[in-house]
Structure 1
Amino acid sequence: MNTTIGTEMVQIESKRTFDQPPAAAQTAPNEGRGDFDARLNRILNAATAVIARVGYEKASMRMVAKEAGVSLAGIYHYFDSKEKMLFLIQFRSFNALLNGLREKLHHVADPVEQLRLMVRSHTNYFVANMAALKVCSHELDSLSGDAYAETLAIRRQYYDLTRGIIDRVFEKYAPNSPADRHVATMCLFGALNWLYRWYDPKRGRSPNVLANQIATQFLQGILGVSPPEEPSPPPPA
């Protein structure tokens, strides 16, 4: 099971500088931008694995250095605190989810299909990044100050985007439903964010099949009837 958070750095849109490496961590004359980003990504992947394994409180910079195969001084070249690692793990995960979903929604008009797309996007991202899912699910309250505020803000944006999809599903298919839309939204996130506890992509159904079942069961639950079927892919030419 993949326990990293990806092989490419995600473009961060934070308005603050909390997510930046220490001032001393400038690209060295003999270190290209690509090398710098690759090393930073390697350290973040290691930090994600360590925090997922032992928890934020027990994790240490030394443990991350050992996991990443770099010196402790090398870790401090990029991060001057463990909290900055945790912040960037969480922020870049939700940044990737948020921007990816926004882009995909431009091409889909029906709210049921938007809901299926959201579930598929979330499932596929975190199936590929199970350790990040565990960290994001459990360690928000380990952050403080600006780190907590920024992470909470981007998570709220992702919630609002998903809530908007669910609102449109109700408006189109069950306008008179008394169901609480916030509760429905949180139930969906509850199902998605608990996947790391039981789902193994190497055994059983594929992530896309799993996502479709989750979406269908969720839609049946909130609508009280079977939702419109997902369109079949066109036949090969």
Structure 2
Amino acid sequence: MRQPAGRAERRGGGSRKPREERWAELFAVATEVFYEKGYEGASLQHIADRLGLLKGSLYYYIHSKEDLLFEVMSEVHRQGLANIVELASRPGDPLQRLRNVVIGHVDHMCSNLTGTTVFLHEMAALPEERQAEILGGEHAYRSVFLDLVQKGKAEGLVRADIDPKLASLSILGSVNWVYRWFRPGGEFTPKQIGEHFADLIVHSLAADGVLPAAKPAKPKRGKKTTAPES
């Protein structure tokens, strides 16, 4: 985890927990509180109470609630981006790599549901300049999907009528929505969801003759039959 810009220098020592250990604990609790109460409903007092600290003690680590949200969002984005960049760099043609990225992205979101929800729900709570700082330039996250679609089109693997920018927005928008209805132990596993979404996306983009004629396989249902929440 990077050194947060909004954190104050820790004074003193004694028998207190090491600063980085306490920061990691603060980070985890803040993420949970933002998830449970939303940014507007959460307060530094809520976070301090759950940590068993006085509210004033938080200022050893953070300057404001906004700074704390910024650090949570930045770390969620950093981890997610690192995940898809690594997946996109693996061997294979652009469509194969796009499939891997979609599957891995869904799995990462579902495995980090609390942080994902905070990130996708609370981005608008930050000023635009801080949002841009997190997302990076032309949205580094979306650029991974855009690059793969563009390369696939250049190689003749993606249909000529596909607009890469619109396609990347559509892919990321539909895949990101999974967090709204996925529940651990529900009807489908993250892998099943990721594979099904990936097959649908790749088949919708692929040029004629690039892929086998078979339609995307229907995922097998698990034992539980809980319907997705709307």
Deviating above 6 A after TM superposition, structure 1's stretches of 4 or more consecutive aligned residues are none
TM-score, normalization: structure 1? Answer: 0.77
Matched with 1:58 is 41
Cα distance change of structure 1 residues 54 and 31 upon mapping to structure 2, 3 Å threshold = closer
Cα distance change of structure 1 residues 165 and 90 upon mapping to structure 2, 3 Å threshold = same
Q: 1:191 aligns with which of 153, 166, 174?
A: 174
- 1:116 and 2:119 correspond: no
Q: 1:148 aligns with which of 103, 127, 131?
A: 131
Matched with 2:5 is 20
Q: Is the 8 A contact 1:22 1:78 kept in 2?
A: yes
Matched with 2:202 is 219
Cα distance change of structure 1 residues 105 and 72 upon mapping to structure 2, 3 Å threshold = same
Q: Which residues of structure 2 form unaligned runs of 5+? A: 217-230
Matched with 1:43 is 26
1:95 CA displacement: 1.1
1:30 CA displacement: 5.1
Q: 2:186 aligns with which of 203, 208, 219?
A: 203
- 1:86 and 2:69 correspond: yes
Q: Is the 8 A contact 2:103 2:195 kept in 1?
A: yes
1:172 CA displacement: 3.1
CA RMSD of aligned residues (A): 2.8
Q: Is the 8 A contact 2:95 2:152 kept in 1?
A: yes
Cα distance change of structure 1 residues 176 and 123 upon mapping to structure 2, 3 Å threshold = closer
Q: Is the 8 A contact 2:32 2:114 kept in 1?
A: yes
- 1:22 partner amino acid: R
Larger Rg: 2
Structure 2: distance between partners of 1:70 and 1:127: 31
Structure 2: distance between partners of 1:164 and 1:24: 41
Aligned residue for 1:25, secondary structure, equals coil
Trace 1:93-172 onto structure 2 (pairs within 5 A): 93-144=76-127, 146-153=129-136, 156-172=139-155
1:23 CA displacement: 2.7
- 2:171 partner amino acid: L
- 1:23 partner amino acid: A
Q: Which residues of structure 1 form unaligned runs of 5+? A: 1-9, 231-237
Partner deviation per Cα, 1:142-162 (whole Å, 9 max, x = no partner)? 112653331131781121122
Aligned residue for 1:56, secondary structure, equals helix
Trace 1:63-78 onto structure 2 (pairs within 5 A): 63-78=46-61
Partner deviation per Cα, 1:136-189 (whole Å, 9 max, x = no partner)? 112222112653331131781121122101222333344552122222111111
1:123 CA displacement: 1.5
Q: 1:179 aligns with which of 162, 169, 177?
A: 162
Structure 1: distance between partners of 2:189 and 2:108: 13
| Count of matched residue pairs | 213
1:99 CA displacement: 2.2
